[in-house]
């Protein structure tokens, strides 16, 4: 395979201040839910990016001082010298294959509630903390002494960054999260001293802090400024003002790193935001400055990347999610292995790891954040063990990933699928409004499996337990998926509700199979709280239905707060005319109406309906597993029989691909289940102080 010469430009080195980037691929800062709690897990994750050919690799948000921290979100700390070794290990890993190592320094100001450090938050202009969780905490307005302190804290962070071995300092002023943006924006900077008012004044702190960075590091480190492209709130730092700022300070940083205004806007899911969506906001900025510009846009296509550079929009291609889904993206483009690129599907499951304080996972890259914890690698398979043959039943996300990973390890793999197409749930869900990118989960894996000589795939092959025993495989994985329930049972109702059989009831499976009520008055009951309910509401509206969206939650699709979509979903529901009933659930279903109960007061009301769609919970399709388990499978020569994916416990697609990977990794490499199946770090104890209070 050879690279298309049109893509050569992506491999031209480019200077960033005193440092030379070997190519145009920048892994921009991204969180991972591990942060200071899981230093080695994060370090090894970043090392895979280095191996995968990124020219510049950044850390996630690194908090410079305890007077500004964003607990419950787990980021990095550079609060004191004892934080240096963990960051130094990360810098070393980032530089291991010739990439430049960057550290993103953050002071969160009005965005940091300090729930852990208990310090009074300091902001450019005081007020309630602006974050996702409406913490009942205010920040105090910084006085001139505080601003001097803050400069000193930044200077300490610059020194520590240099000591840790970083090449680039990234100053965070984007997404509404960083104090540099708070200084720039008239919404968050209402000061009347010489740090407020005119743009010249609002820029003062940035000028001072960048000067400090150069002085402290003796100009040896490059400085990158990560700013919001457009802050939509009234008086916010708009795109027009950003352009004025860059024109006024054309040579201030060594790199302009530009990202959309809020994190929700910057990291939009594929359901709502296409590849390259920030182009209009960034176009033309390069002409204002001689310094290079990096931007993001969930870029996975080399052609789209080249276009950004050739048309003078960007100098560097920034990527967070595409680098998570495929840490080897640059290397694959470099080697012309385009079919091997594992494209991000834009689901934001990775983001949900940070939002929930868990460790992040990726639907596409099952090794993400397991590089150190489990020794998984995004590209290199674990060596094969003594077994020879593997049978996988069911070709959904779990079965496909299990087959691919087992085959890459060198086992002889048979994959049997009952249906005519491969992909299981994603082959159905990809047809729903906004979810076409889900199809990449199947396309990538079927594309990778196709050329492998040690894989046989059987479609239209619904196996029985007797079939399984007769196939003579050493190990069997049953990945037969799940189906949606029809009886309202989920979180609120743990037992079925009274239902008149005359009322037509539908499940998501029915709708995906093409059985869709048209031009009807439909009650959609969502006790699932992820994407499916609102996606089906869109589908029903497109078929002429009037939709009553009923949920016991206080928000539509409340779990999508974790994928940064909830506000967009609510807006979409209102815009397409869906009637939303919050804090309500069906208590009885009649022939022509649904009795709703208020989850707070118990009060009831009736709504008319011609049909009800239940988006509630799923039942595992585990009958085949239990039937096989009941036979003498060991006597038939099977050494291991596992139930995986939705068939074991329904969950998001990422949970299924993970289960597939885990099955394949553990063939001939069994884990004992008395201890954690992953490595972890336990905090080193400090010596006890001589006198405890």
Cα(436)–Cα(428) distance, rounded to whole angstroms? Answer: 10
Footprint of ligand SF4 (CB under 6 A): 321, 324-325, 344-350, 362-364
What are the helix (H) ranges across 459-506?
A: 465-470
- The answer to whether 395 contacts ligand ADP (rule: CB under 6 A) is yes
**Partner in contact with 413, chosen from ligand ADP, ligand SF4, none, beta carbon below 5 to 8 Å by kind:** none
Question: Distance of CA 115 to CAs 78, 119, 135, 377, 579, Å?
Answer: 17, 8, 9, 35, 38
Q: Is 425 in the site for ligand ADP (CB under 6 A)?
A: yes
Q: Which is nearer to ligand SF4, 369 or 468 (by Cβ)?
A: 369
d(CA 557, CA 203): 39
**Residue 656 interaction partner, one of ligand ADP, ligand SF4, none, beta carbon < 5-8 Å per kind:** ligand ADP
H or E stretch covering 616: none
647 binds, among ligand SF4, ligand ADP, none (CB under 5 to 8 A by kind): ligand ADP
d(CA 171, CA 650): 41
- Contact between 446 and 421 under an 8 Å Cβ cutoff? The reply is no
349 contact choice in ligand SF4, ligand ADP, none (CB below 5 to 8 Å, kind-dependent)? ligand SF4
480 near ligand ADP, rule: CB under 6 A: yes
Distance separating alpha carbons of residues 653 and 663, to the nearest angstrom: 16
Stretch that binds ligand ADP, among 171-179, 285-293, 388-396, 680-688 (CB under 6 A): 388-396
Region binding ligand ADP by CB under 6 A among candidate stretches 91-99, 362-370, 393-401, 489-497: 393-401
Q: Got the DSSP string for 45-64? A: HHHHHHHTT-SEEEEEEEE-
- 417 is an interface residue for ligand ADP by CB under 6 A: yes
Query: Nearest distance from residue 498's CB to ligand SF4, in Å?
Result: 40
Minimum CB distance to ligand ADP smaller for 261 or for 394: 394
For the chain, how long is the longest CA-to-CA vector?
83
Question: Which of ligand SF4, ligand ADP, none does residue 435 bind to, with CB < 5 to 8 Å depending on kind?
Answer: none
Smallest separation (angstroms) from ligand ADP to the CB of 376? 19
- When binding is defined by CB under 6 A, the residue of 147, 266, 398, 573 that contacts ligand ADP is 398
53 binds, among ligand SF4, ligand ADP, none (CB under 5 to 8 A by kind): none
Q: How far is the CB of 348 from ligand SF4 (least distance, A)?
A: 5
Question: CB under 6 A: which stretch of 120-128, 172-180, 412-420, 507-515 binds ligand ADP?
Answer: 412-420
Q: Is 513 helix (H, G, I), strand (E, B) or coil?
A: coil
For residue 405, the partner it binds in ligand ADP, ligand SF4, none, with Cβ less than 5 to 8 A by kind, is none
List Cβ neighbours of 198 (8 Å cut-off, separation of 6 or more).
Answer: none
- Across 509-523, b (16+ Cβ under 10 Å) vs e yields bbbbeeebbeebbbb
Q: Pick one of ligand ADP, ligand SF4, none as the site partner of residue 363 (Cβ within 5 to 8 A by kind).
A: ligand SF4
Our CB check for ligand ADP shows the closer of 253 and 396 to be 396
In contact, 39 and 25? CB cutoff 8 Å: no
Nearer residue to ligand SF4 within complex by CB, 350 or 422: 350
Give the one residue of 35, 253, 397, 533 binding ligand ADP; rule: CB under 6 A.
397
Q: Contacts for 428-432 with beta carbons within 8 Å, 24 or more apart?
A: 428/509, 428/512, 428/513, 429/512, 431/512, 432/512, 432/535, 432/536, 432/539
The answer to whether 508 contacts ligand ADP (rule: CB under 6 A) is no
Residue 399 found at the interface with ligand ADP (CB under 6 A)? yes
Closest CA to 384 of 366, 401, 365, 408: 408
Query: Residue 418 interacts with ligand ADP (CB under 6 A)?
Result: yes
Identify the sign of the CA torsion 291, 15, 29, 157: negative
The window from 165-173, 348-356, 415-423, 520-528 that contacts ligand ADP (CB under 6 A) reads 415-423
Please tell me the count of residues contacting ligand ADP according to CB under 6 A.
26
DSSP letter for each residue of 162-201:
HHHT-SEEEEEE-TTTSHHHHHH-TTT----STTSSSHHH
Query: Shortest approach of ligand ADP to residue 378 CB, angstroms?
Result: 20
Is 364 one of the binding residues for ligand ADP (CB under 6 A)? no
Q: Does 419 bind ligand ADP (CB under 6 A)?
A: yes
Q: Give the whole-angstrom CA distance, residue 222 versus residue 17.
A: 5
Encode burial over 403-427: b for 16+ CB neighbours within 10 A, e otherwise: bbbbbbbebbbbbbbbbeebbbbbb
Evaluate whether 22 touches 13 at the Cβ level (below 8 Å): yes
394, 436, 293: which is closest to 628 by C-alpha?
394
Q: Which is nearer to ligand ADP, 313 or 345 (CB)?
A: 345
Residue 344 binds which entry of ligand ADP, ligand SF4, none, CB below 5-8 Å type-dependent = ligand SF4
The two three-digit tokens of residue 621, written as one number:
């399709």
Rank residues 236 and 276 by Cβ distance to ligand SF4 and give the closer one.
276
Which one of the spans 144-152, 368-376, 404-412, 417-425 is the region binding ligand ADP (CB under 6 A)?
A: 417-425
DSSP characters for 531-560? Answer: SHHHHHHHHHHHTT-EEEEEESSSSTTGGG
Q: Which of 74, 123, 129, 393 binds ligand ADP (CB under 6 A)?
A: 393
Binding characters for ligand ADP, 601-630, by CB under 6 A (x = yes): --------------------x--x------
> Given the complex with ligand ADP, which of 211 and 466 has the nearer CB atom?
466
**What is the contact mask toward ligand ADP in residues 433 to 472, using x (rule: CB under 6 A)?**
----------------------------xxx---------
Measured from the CB of residue 399, what is the shortest distance to ligand ADP in angstroms? Answer: 5
Smallest gap from residue 646 Cβ to ligand ADP (A)? 3
3-state secondary structure 270-331: CCCCCCCCCHHHHCCHHHHCCCCEEECCCCCCHHHHHHHHHCCCCCEEEECHHHHHCCCHHH
CA distance 250 to 373: 44
Query: Which residues form the interface with ligand ADP (CB under 6 A)?
Result: 393-399, 416-419, 424-425, 461-463, 479-482, 621, 624, 645-647, 656
């Amino acid at each position: 395979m050879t690279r298309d010469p049109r893509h050569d430009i992506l491999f031209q080195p480019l200077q960033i201040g005193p440092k030379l980037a070997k190519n145009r691929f920048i892994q921009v800062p991204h969180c991972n839910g591990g942060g200071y709690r899981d230093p080695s897990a994060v370090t090894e994750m970043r090392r895979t990016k280095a191996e995968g050919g990124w020219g510049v690799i950044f850390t996630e948000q690194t908090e410079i001082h305890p007077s500004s921290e964003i607990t419950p979100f787990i980021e990095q700390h550079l609060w004191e010298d004892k934080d240096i070794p963990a960051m130094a290990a990360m810098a070393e890993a980032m530089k291991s294959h010739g990439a430049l190592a960057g550290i993103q320094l953050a002071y969160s100001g009005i965005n940091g509630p300090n729930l852990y450090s208990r310090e009074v938050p300091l902001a450019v202009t005081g007020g309630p903390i602006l974050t996702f969780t409406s913490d009942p905490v205010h920040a105090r307005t910084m006085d001139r002494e505080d601003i001097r302190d803050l400069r000193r804290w930044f200077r300490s962070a610059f020194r520590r960054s240099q000591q840790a071995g970083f090449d680039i300092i990234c100053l965070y002023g984007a997404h509404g999260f960083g104090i540099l943006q708070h200084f720039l924006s008239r919404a968050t900077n209402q000061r009347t001293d010489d740090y407020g008012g005119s743009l010249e004044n609002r820029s003062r702190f940035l000028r001072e802090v960048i000067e400090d960075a150069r002085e402290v590091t003796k100009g040896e480190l490059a400085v990158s400024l990560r700013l919001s492209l457009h802050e939509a709130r009234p008086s916010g730092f708009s795109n027009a003002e950003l352009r004025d700022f860059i024109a006024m300070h054309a040579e201030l940083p060594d790199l302009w790193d530009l990202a959309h205004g809020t994190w929700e806007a910057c990291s939009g899911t594929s359901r709502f935001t296409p590849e390259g969506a920030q182009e209009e906001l960034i176009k033309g900025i390069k002409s204002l400055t001689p310094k290079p510009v990096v931007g993001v846009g969930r870029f996975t296509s080399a052609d789209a990347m080249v276009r950004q550079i050739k048309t003078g929009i960007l100098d560097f291609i920034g990527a967070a999610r595409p680098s998570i889904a495929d840490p080897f993206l640059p290397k694959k483009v470099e080697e012309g292995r385009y079919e091997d690129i594992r494209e991000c599907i834009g689901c934001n499951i990775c983001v949900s790891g940070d939002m929930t304080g868990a460790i992040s996972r990726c639907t596409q890259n099952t090794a993400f954040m397991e590089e150190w914890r489990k020794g998984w690698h995004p590209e290199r398979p674990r060596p094969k063990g003594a077994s020879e043959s593997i049978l996988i039943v069911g070709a959904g996300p779990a079965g496909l990933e299990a087959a691919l990973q087992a085959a890459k390890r060198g086992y002889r793999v048979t994959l049997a699928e009952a249906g005519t197409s491969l992909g299981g749930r994603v082959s159905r869900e990809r047809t729903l409004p906004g979810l076409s990118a889900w199809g990449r989960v199947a396309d990538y894996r079927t594309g990778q499996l196709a050329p492998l000589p040690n894989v046989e795939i059987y479609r239209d092959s619904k196996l029985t337990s007797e079939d399984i025993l007769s196939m003579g495989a050493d190990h069997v994985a049953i990945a037969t998926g799940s189906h949606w329930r029809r009886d309202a049972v989920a979180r609120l109702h743990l037992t079925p509700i009274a239902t008149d059989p005359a009322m037509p009831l539908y499940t998501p499976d029915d709708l995906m199979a093409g059985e869709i009520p048209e031009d009807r008055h439909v009650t959609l009951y969502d006790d699932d709280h992820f994407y499916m309910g609102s996606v089906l509401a869109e589908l029903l509206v497109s078929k002429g239905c009037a939709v009553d969206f009923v949920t016991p939650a206080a928000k539509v699709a409340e779990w999508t707060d974790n994928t940064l979509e909830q506000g967009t979903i609510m807006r979409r529901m209102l815009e397409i005319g869906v009637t939303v009933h919050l804090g309500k659930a069906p208590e009885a279903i009649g022939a022509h109406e649904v009795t709703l109960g208020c989850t707070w007061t118990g009060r009831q009301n009736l709504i008319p309906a011609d049909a009800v769609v239940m988006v509630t919970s799923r039942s595992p399709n585990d009958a085949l597993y239990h039937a096989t388990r009941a036979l003498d499978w060991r006597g038939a020569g099977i050494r291991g029989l596992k139930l995986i994916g939705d068939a074991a416990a329904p969950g998001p697609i990422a949970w299924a691909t993970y289960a597939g990977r885990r099955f394949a990794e553990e063939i001939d490499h069994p884990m004992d289940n008395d201890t954690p199946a992953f490595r972890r770090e336990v905090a080193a104890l400090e010596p006890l102080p001589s006198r405890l209070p």
